[in-house]
Amino acid sequence: MTQVGFKTDKGKKRDRNEDSLFVMPQESIYIVADGVGGQNSGELASSMAVKSIAEYIKANPLHGIEDEEELKGYFLECMKKANKMIYQAAQLSQENAGMATTVVLLHLINGYAYIVNVGDSRAYICRDGRISQITEDHTYVNELVRGGSITKEQAENHPQKNMITRALGGEEKILPDFYRLETKKNDIIILCTDGLSGELSAEEICGLIAVSNSMSALSKSLVQRANGNGGNDNITVICLKI
């Protein structure tokens, strides 16, 4: 049994919401995407991504696929299809040139969470009052941190902290990251765009988890806090309790 709550908001500084989310409870699939591009291209890219992924899963049911390597191959193919669709749409239209989107996807099955991500939309897990980030941000600044050029503290205020290095549709080929972890009762998993993670620290997220009585309430509280802290970007979150 999984409790789910979700919310998306354009934030305080943006005219449009270029984030997308998609929830498929029967398939235990949860998706968050954050589009980039001029005009309405970011919104188009993120919506194309979640729609393409959902259509792939509907056309190729996950039922019976439980092996880790099989699931990895399945989701890699799924992401390749979505990437190709967005990349080709960007090539065919001058208006949509350069559009792309981040994506983070969660699949729950048999006591395990499988997470796929491209870009800087994140997955967190909170267990026994402690929170940790599951995914690795595909950003220029995170590469500097990993290489030892700058500290995590310096990264928080770096002028290029929002520059992503991987995105669906950004290049002809894509390489998503794939994670698998065992879940336990009362684990809380959060999928979010950088409109949330850029405004709230992991500790702030954990603090709101502690005082929320449902996943819907938690989703609303997270968005409200992100807006209260500045609301500089679109904010999207999916919260799940095992």
pLDDT tens digits for 79-129? 999 999 999 999 988 888 889 999 999 999 999 999 999 999 999 999 999
Whether 115 contacts 97, CB under 8 Å: no
In the Cβ-directed half-sphere of 225, how many Cα atoms lie within 13 Å? 22
Helix (H) or strand (E) holding 152: helix 152-156
Q: pLDDT, tens digit, for every residue of 57-88? A: 999 999 889 999 999 999 999 999 999 999 99
From residue 181, give the alpha-carbon distance in Å to each of 64, 72, 115, 175: 19, 13, 9, 20
Percent of the chain at pLDDT above 70? 89
Q: pLDDT, tens digit, for every residue of 220-239? A: 999 999 999 999 999 999 99
User: Among residues 31, 195, 228, which one has the least CA distance to residue 120?
Assistant: 195
Q: Looking at per-residue confidence, does 36 or 146 come out higher?
A: 36
Is pLDDT at 37 greater than 90 in this prediction? no
List domains and CATH numbers for the chain: 3-241 (3.60.40.10)
- Determine the straight-line distance between the first and last CA of the chain, rounded to whole angstroms: 6
